[in-house]
Amino acid sequence: MTRLQRAGLAPEEGPHAVAAIGSGGLRLVALDEQARALGLAVGELLGRVRARIGVPLRVHPAEPEAERDALHRLCRWAMRYAPIVAPFGPAEGCHGLAIDIAGASHLHGGEAALLDDLAGRLARSRIPARIALADTMGAAFALARSGRTSPALVPPGEHGAHLAPLPVEALRLDPEVAAGLRRLGLRRIADVEALPRSGLARRFGLAPLLRLDQAYGRRAEPLAPLDEARSFSAARGFLDPIGRQSDVIAAARALMEEIAPRLERAGLGACALRLSLHRVDGAVRTLEIGLSRPERSPERIAGLIALRLERLGAGLDAGFGFETADLAVTSAEPMAEKQASLGGSGAGERVANLADTIAQRIGRRLQRLAPRESHVPERAEGIVSWVAPPLPYPAILPARPLVLFARSEAAQDVFATAPDGPPHRFRWRAREYRVARAEGPERIAPEWWREQAEPRDYYRIECEAGRRLWLYRDGPHGQERPAAWFVHGMFP
C-alpha cells in the first residue's frame, strides 16, 4: 500500500508516482491510474521516465515505515472478518494482506457477501484494491494480482483451472527466475506445471516447485499473523448493532470468557488487551487496556473496560451502533497458579488492582520506580510502566534515604577531626548542623565502562536537631585539595 493509496489521490492534478532509491538511482515503486495510462511501469528509472513523457509527473518520496504502519492498521481493521490476518511479505511485494476466512464466512452471510462487503468498504474509504478468494493463499494472490476480475470468487476445488492461464510472475517467483522461464517460452502457469519436476528443479532450483505446490494446494502455507499474541483473541457480530455501554461491557466479558480457557491452558495471563469496536459506517473505535500483572479473569477485565468507558462517556461515539466487537490479547506473560479458596488477595495484588483502576480512570498508564544495574545512586533506579511485570529486587538492600535529590547539594565549612572520617560540623542551605551520630563510610564507585571518576564515601548522619541526612565525600581527602562534601538525600 502506497502513500497515495492511504490518503486517496493528492489534491494536485496530473499523474502521480512514488519513487525510492534503487539500482542506478531513483526508481518508480508505485503509480496511479493516470501514470499507468502514460505507459509507465514500476521499476523504471525516474530520470528516463521524465525524459520520455511530455507531461509533468508529480513524484512523492517513498515512506517505507509509514507504509508498513498503514498496512498494519489495515490488517487490524480487516480482523472484523476473521481473526487471522497476515500482511504480505517481500515475496508478495509488501503491498497487501491475506485473510483466512475459514469458518468465519457464515458470520457475514457467506463468501460472496463477505467479498462484496469488503470491496464496498474499501471503495468507500478510497482504498483501491484487487480482491480474490480461493482455496489456497497462492491461488488467491495470483488471481488478485493478475486475474481479469475483482473481486474474484473461485468455487472450491476449481482453483487449478483459474491458475492455468495466469502469467508465471503470479507465482511470486524471483524476477530473474520468472525472466528465465519466459526466455524458454514458459509464459503461463500451466506451461510450468506441465514440465517434469526434476528438470525444472535442476534448471531453476526448488523455488518454482514450492510456489506451484503452494498455489495448487499440494503443500500447506500457514499464514504469519500480524501479531502472534492475537492467537488469544475472540470476535462477535451482532444482528442488531449495539451502542450502550452496558452492552459493550457484556460483550467484552463474553469475549474474555472465551479467551480465558486458552490462556489457562497455555499457563499465561493477559498483560495488555485491545478491544476493537467496528461501527456500521466502517469506523473503528479501539480501547487499549494495560494491566500491572498477568490476568485472565473475565470479571476483572470487564470491570476495567467499564471504568474506561465511564471516563470516555460520549467520547466513545457509537454512531449508529457497533456491528462487530473483537478482543485480543496484545501482551501475555506466564501466570503462576495460586490458591483461591483460602484467604483474600495479597498486598501486592491489591496494589496492582488499585494501579489498574487508577490507570483506567485517568486514561494513562501509571509508572513506578524499578532498580537498574548501577552502583551510582542517581542511576540505580529508573521509571518503568506499571504494565511491565515487576523486576526482581535484591534479597538485601543497603539503607537508602526516602528522599533522594535529583542533584546533590554542596555542604560548606565542613569540619572533620580525621581526614577520612565523618564530618562533625557543616553548613547546608544557610544553616549550620552539628553531627550527633554517623554511620559509614559506604564506598560507591562509578561503573568503569562509563567514566573515570573518584569513588564516593557515603555517611548516614544524624544531626543534634534530629534531622537525618545522607552525605558523601567526593574523592579522597588530600593536602593539595580539600575533600568536597555533598548532601544527597534525607532519611525520614
pLDDT tens by residue, 456-473: 899 999 999 889 999 998
Q: How many domains does the chain have?
A: 5
Q: Determine, yes or no, domain membership for 41.
A: yes
- pLDDT of res. 349: 63
Q: Is there a contact between 177 and 207 (Cβ–Cβ < 8 Å)?
A: yes
Residues 354 and 254 in one domain: yes
Pick from 349, 375, 393: which residue ends a domain? Answer: 393
Q: Determine, yes or no, domain membership for 227.
A: no
Q: Does the structure show a pLDDT above 60 at 41?
A: yes
Residues 78 and 206 in one domain: yes
Distance CA 80, CA 58 (A): 36
- pLDDT of res. 236: 82
Q: Does the structure show a pLDDT above 50 at 57?
A: yes
Q: Which residue has the cell 498494519?
A: 72
Confidence of residue 5 (pLDDT cuts 50, 70, 90): very low
- pLDDT of res. 347: 53
Q: Does the structure show a pLDDT above 80 at 357?
A: no
- pLDDT of res. 155: 92
- pLDDT of res. 474: 82
SS3 category, 441: strand
Q: Determine, yes or no, domain membership for 221.
A: no
Distance CA 14, CA 9 (A): 10
Residues 298 and 329 in one domain: yes
Pick from 62, 77, 105: which residue ends a domain? Answer: 62
Q: Determine, yes or no, domain membership for 29.
A: yes
Residues 188 and 303 in one domain: no
Predicted confidence (pLDDT) per residue in 396-436, tens digit: 456 788 888 988 999 999 988 777 788 999 999 999 999 99
Residues 149 and 120 in one domain: yes
Q: Determine, yes or no, domain membership for 264.
A: yes
Q: Which residue has the cell 496492582?
A: 352
Q: Does the structure show a pLDDT above 80 at 354?
A: no
Q: Determine, yes or no, domain membership for 228.
A: no
Provide the CATH number for the domain around residue 45.
3.40.1170.60
**What is the helix (H) or strand (E) element at residue 181, kind and residue range?**
helix 175-183
Q: Is there a contact between 468 and 490 (Cβ–Cβ < 8 Å)?
A: yes
- pLDDT of res. 8: 38
Residues 79 and 175 in one domain: yes
- pLDDT of res. 10: 39
Residues 7 and 81 in one domain: no
* Owning domain of residue 11: 2-62
Confidence of residue 229 (pLDDT cuts 50, 70, 90): very low
Q: Determine, yes or no, domain membership for 409.
A: yes
Residues 73 and 166 in one domain: yes
Residues 203 and 73 in one domain: yes
Residues 74 and 211 in one domain: yes
Residues 206 and 258 in one domain: no
Q: Determine, yes or no, domain membership for 225.
A: no
Predicted confidence (pLDDT) per residue in 133-166, tens digit: 999 999 999 999 888 888 999 999 999 999 999 9
Residues 84 and 211 in one domain: yes
Q: For residue 390, give every residue at least 6 positions away whose Cβ sits within 8 Å of its Cβ, in sequence order, or none.
A: 293, 370
